[in-house]
């Protein structure tokens, strides 16, 4: 599955790590977050090391509250 949006430097409440997440659909601007699919994500600790997200972290990215300081929308190959 190909991602359409990526968010970096994601901050979640109660966590020191930052996250990057790739979505099919835009979870921030969508009227219904359940229509978005989390394609992949990674957790970056305070030392800059990258780890796979846990199931709970993935759920938080899909349904919880978070903020991001960097995001990008990929251009469609159809246009």
Residue 25 gets the label, from left (phi > 0), alpha (psi -120 to 50) or beta, of left
Give 6-59 pLDDT, tens digit per residue.
Answer: 999 999 999 999 999 999 988 887 766 668 899 999 999 999 999 999 999 999
Distance in Å from the first CA to the final CA of the chain: 18
pTM of the predicted model as reported, rounded to 2 decimal places: 0.86
Residue 60 gets the label, from left (phi > 0), alpha (psi -120 to 50) or beta, of alpha
| Helices and strands, counts by H and E, the chain | 1, 5
């Amino acid at each position: 599955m190909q991602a359409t949006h990526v968010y970096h430097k994601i901050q979640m409440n109660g966590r020191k790590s930052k996250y990057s997440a790739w979505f099919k659909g835009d979870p921030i601007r969508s009227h219904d977050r359940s229509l978005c699919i989390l394609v992949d994500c990674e957790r970056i600790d305070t030392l800059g090391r990258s780890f796979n997200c846990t199931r709970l972290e993935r759920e938080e990215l899909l349904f919880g509250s978070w903020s991001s300081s960097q995001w990008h929308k990929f251009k469609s190959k159809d246009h």
